Chains A and B, each alone.
Chain A
């Protein structure tokens, strides 16, 4: 029995009939074509599929699309503003926070949740916040620097504004 859902993804409203067993990540990738959200493990462990649902980081492989009915979803595709990279995206580029890039969308979305709660995190707090995101390439150091870069940039922007 298909269920009708209404979700806003990256500011755009969608309505679809979905099979209830469709995972939110399958809906984003296969129905909406938003393939920036990756599936690394499909066992809730790696964090590659992390997106924001109503502003909170969640693993979209561990949530049904029907559970997101009525929610605001944000994926990596929604981070840049009219072609200007989000400070987190810029940070990952400037600080070499990625190598193969597979984990990066998840890293960025989890970091977005962190910076929303704690705009000025310590190195330890960044490492704690990224506990649920695995990277097989970078060794994490540059990821931490990338998040620090973004935190600094955002706080400078706010001072100017």
Chain B
């Protein structure tokens, strides 16, 4: 049951949604898949007076190649991405992560844009998008802009998104030749959210790590790039020992969260374990 009343508008285009959001101001919220917002409204954690539904906009729901980039519309569902060969062949961590989100019912409704905008500290997509060097495209009443995933997540459920802006697309540059990726997570057994998740992408040439991109989620208030792990592995031979040594840097200097599922200490331990697993899988 949703205790508070609200008005509902179904937008027929992104431009109309932006107009409606501007018109209703702080009282309005966008509704995409509803799989974070509706549960929050049931708990009165969120009490918008107006919902602007963008969940049916075909212009936001696509996965395509543009030049060398993979472009995913903000309205693509987790299930759309899980089943996309284009996503899998660009970076397999995209389909791995999509398949690990919640359950099939959640994946059928929840969207990539909704997950990024919500910025749950335990969400999977933020880490994957940082590791993929994704750019997040935003549109508001004053036009469009692009924010890199590295700069998008600013804190606990906080992002660079302005109140009146909509995420329209996520653009992922083609990874260099010889790149493989993996997403590995230790999941909360009931919700399947990440207690700790690690996304890693490794570019290999003759057994040597040319380039590596690693991001962690679940550990602290927001997903982040594990630069120290990247620095420890770049230019090294991709041996088991070197990977294990680099993974030891995961979570170093981070203020970890603790809750009744996993203490700070345990999360920091898991960060190393899952960084190693993701790197091992990506380096195969």
Q: List residues of chain A with CB under 8 Å of any chain B CB.
A: 1, 3, 19-21, 23, 26, 42-45, 47, 50, 56-59, 62-64, 66-67, 69-70, 110, 113-114, 129, 131-133
Contact = CB atoms under 8 A, between A and B. Distances in A.
A21 B2 contact: yes
A26 B2 CA distance: 11
Contact of B38 (A1, A19, A64, A132): A64
Contact of A63 (B4, B7, B104, B109): B109
B95 to A, nearest CB: 14
B38 A57 contact: no
A43 B42 contact: yes
A30 to B, nearest CB: 11
Given A58-B109, A62-B35, A63-B38, A129 B104 contact: yes
B197 interface: no
Contacts of A129: 104
Interface residues of B, number: 29
Nearest to A62: B38
A19 B108 CA distance: 25
Interface of B: 1-2, 4-8, 10, 31, 34-35, 38-39, 42, 51, 53, 55-56, 79, 102-106, 108-109, 190-192
A63 B34 contact: yes
16 contacts: A1-B8, A42-B1, A42-B42, A44-B35, A50-B105, A56-B108, A57-B105, A62-B34, A62-B38, A66-B8, A70-B56, A110-B105, A113-B104, A131-B104, A132-B104, A132-B105
